[in-house]
Structure 1
Amino acid sequence: MDNSRRLGPAMGLSAGQCQLLMSLLLLLTRVQPGTGVAAPEHIHYVPQLSKDTLAGRLTQSTFTLEQPLGQFNSHNISDVDTIWLVVALSNATQSFTAPQTNQDIPAPASFSQRGYYLTMGASRALYQGSQASSQLRVLRVGNDTHCQLTKPGCNHPLPGPGPYRVKFLVMNEKGPVAETDWSNDTRLQQAQELPAVRGPQSPGTVVIIAILSVLLALLLTALLAVLIYTCFNSCRSTSLSGPEKTESVRRYTTHLTFSTPAEGSS
């Protein structure tokens, strides 16, 4: 005898009414408290960092995840549903609220206010297969430096060291369908400052610095002397020319005057 037949006589309800009551109870167990919206199906899967020794597995703005292969085979998930990756700060996971429509999907531009955003939307056809495949299949979070921060799904580089946590969220046009567990904390690499040299310098170092300083001074003096000598010789060998003055020379012709003897009259 099922539960509806047991509850029927006890509550004075008919079999049909009990069946309806049980259906309502099952529906209420999937409704999120205070929202009136059915809660998404829970998938028991924890996103993992890539186990392969990849270059750039963890950087100052990206990290690499294993693809969740074979995790979205539930009958509630269809091939047209979008599987999003939720990226959140560790202290913002408790306040995360799944968007109810595609228009409500948070973009990276709101990350500083919300503490989370959705990125890398894909269909479950991308995640079919098994981890035993020889093909390397990973997801690199924060790998797109050219996408717009205001565009939903933008995989922009992460703004700080974290720590971050991620999970996968399946959505259709009606809202969230299924979701996985949150990952463990992931901290990105941080730039390290070079240690400063402290303490007095050794006597040998001081002697070497002094010798190099003297040699440098001698070299500069020699170069200056060569420069002065070259300029001096160049100035002496250059002839200075001025404007030519044209003079006119007058020539005088000397006319000799001869006196003619007077002719005598006879």
Structure 2
Amino acid sequence: MSSGASYFRVGAQVVCEETNCYRVLPIGSTVRVKYVLVDSNSKTIRSETSWCPTSMSWSSIDEFIGKRSGGMVVITVISSCLLAVLLLLLGAVLLLDGFKYVLINPANKTVVAESVWSNNITLYSFVSLDYIPEILPYEASGRVTSSTIVLGQPLCYFNTLTQLKCSQSTCQVWAAIASGPGVNNFDIDKLEPVQIVSASPYPMAFSSQTNRMYFVTKLGRPKDFPCDQLPGIKYFRVGAAGNCTSTNCNGVLPPDSTVRVKYILIDPVSRGVVSESKWSYPISLTSMKSWSSIDEWIGKRSGGMVVITVISSCLLAVLLLLLGAVLLLDCLGSFRRGHDITT
């Protein structure tokens, strides 16, 4: 007899096609099992055990709270009370304009010393929109290059928002451009009590992986991007400012990189984010190819390119022949005219 528990798992063969394999049981079913002794020649049962008691399925479990143990009920009640207290404290903190420390005399319960009031506590909250910035849908050249991308403008993104700290004429529309971990870095920085417009300056944003890997640049105000349909193609080119050096300039993107963009609305007073769109889908920039890597062998040309080259060469040959014929006829005419004068 071997040590340890010996067992037989019914349904151990997940996928089987034989007649008598022990495949998985129906989900939520109730089954009973017995062992039988079968004659291998006649295939008849020679002996058998009794059926086992009914097995309980997961769907038959009574979830009534009265069936719980006393310890389970106590733990549930304590956890609920702690969660309620935590929510109350969080609500109280959100209502505070500031705080100060005081020293109280325990005998007469009077304040004997106190600090000054803290500065007003600024709570950073914002409205998330369902808009997703997209590459310009028109078939225009240069929509995605090795250092720039062309997106549709945030038309009507922030024009219907109300109860903001800034108005349609004072709020500022910016674009956040991130690569790799810059997406998570921006989402973290926007919640911190820092000025998001200077948290990751452009010149150093992509210089190394240890930097924040994102930058923000200003587009205008919500009234500059109305909901009315305007004539012409409205677009925003990321990287239009070239190799600039200011903190929030719209500089070129890192070569061979994949970037994502979102439009954000910033309060000019607190310099915090009050609304934002979703991140765009990843956009891969085109890769630059060295001219020396281009294979000029004619076998790599397409059939149309070969036909155009042959026709151009034939036309050039005909043109040269006609030019030669004209020059020859002109020379012969001059010779004949000179011969007639001498005679």
Q: Kindly provide the amino acid, as one letter, of the partner of residue 149 in structure 2.
A: F
Contact map agreement 1:110 1:117 (CA 8 A) in 2 = no
Structure 1 unmatched ranges of 5 or more: 1-10, 12-20, 29-34, 198-266
Contact map agreement 1:105 1:118 (CA 8 A) in 2 = no
The CA distance in 2 between the partners of 1:180 and 1:154, in whole Å, is 21
Q: Which moved more, 1:92-101 or 1:47-56?
A: 92-101
What SS does the aligned partner of 2:176 have? strand
Q: Which moved more, 1:104-113 or 1:155-164?
A: 104-113
Q: Which residue of 2 aligns with 1:118?
A: 216
- What TM-score results when the alignment is normalised by the length of structure 1? 0.56
Q: CA RMSD in A?
A: 3.1
Structure 2 unmatched ranges of 5 or more: 1-80, 82-87, 96-120, 298-343
Aligned match for 1:107, one of 201, 212, 216: 201
The structure having more radius of gyration, on CA atoms, is: 1
The CA distance in 1 between the partners of 2:151 and 2:127, in whole Å, is 22
* Greater relative contact order (CA < 8 Å, ≥ 6 in sequence): 1
Residue 145 of structure 1: how far off its partner (Å): 2.2
Q: Kindly provide the amino acid, as one letter, of the partner of residue 126 in structure 2.
A: P
The CA distance in 2 between the partners of 1:65 and 1:196, in whole Å, is 35
Residue 101 of structure 1: how far off its partner (Å): 2.6
Aligned match for 2:226, one of 86, 104, 128: 128
C-alpha spacing 1:107/1:144, structure 2 compared with 1 (3 Å): same
The CA distance in 1 between the partners of 2:126 and 2:262, in whole Å, is 13
Q: How many residue pairs align between the two structures? A: 171
Q: Which residue of 2 aligns with 1:160?
A: 255
C-alpha spacing 1:84/1:155, structure 2 compared with 1 (3 Å): same
C-alpha spacing 1:83/1:103, structure 2 compared with 1 (3 Å): closer
C-alpha spacing 1:146/1:92, structure 2 compared with 1 (3 Å): closer
Residue 71 of structure 1: how far off its partner (Å): 0.9
Q: Which residue of 2 aligns with 1:38?
A: 124
Contact map agreement 1:167 1:183 (CA 8 A) in 2 = yes
**Where do residues 5-84 of structure 1 align in structure 2 (5 Å cutoff)?**
24=91, 37-72=123-158, 73-75=160-162, 76=164, 77-78=166-167, 79-84=169-174
Tell whether 2:241 aligns with 1:144: yes
Contact map agreement 2:203 2:247 (CA 8 A) in 1 = no
Q: Which residue of 1 aligns with 2:178?
A: 88
Instruction: State the 4+ residue runs in structure 1 displaced beyond 4 angstroms.
Output: 25-28
What SS does the aligned partner of 2:185 have? coil
The CA distance in 1 between the partners of 2:296 and 2:240, in whole Å, is 34
The CA distance in 2 between the partners of 1:26 and 1:69, in whole Å, is 37
Residue 102 of structure 1: how far off its partner (Å): 6.6
- What TM-score results when the alignment is normalised by the length of structure 2? 0.44
The CA distance in 2 between the partners of 1:162 and 1:66, in whole Å, is 20
Q: Kindly provide the amino acid, as one letter, of the partner of residue 129 in structure 1.
A: C
C-alpha spacing 1:70/1:24, structure 2 compared with 1 (3 Å): same
Residue 27 of structure 1: how far off its partner (Å): 5.3
Q: Which residue of 2 aligns with 1:252?
A: none
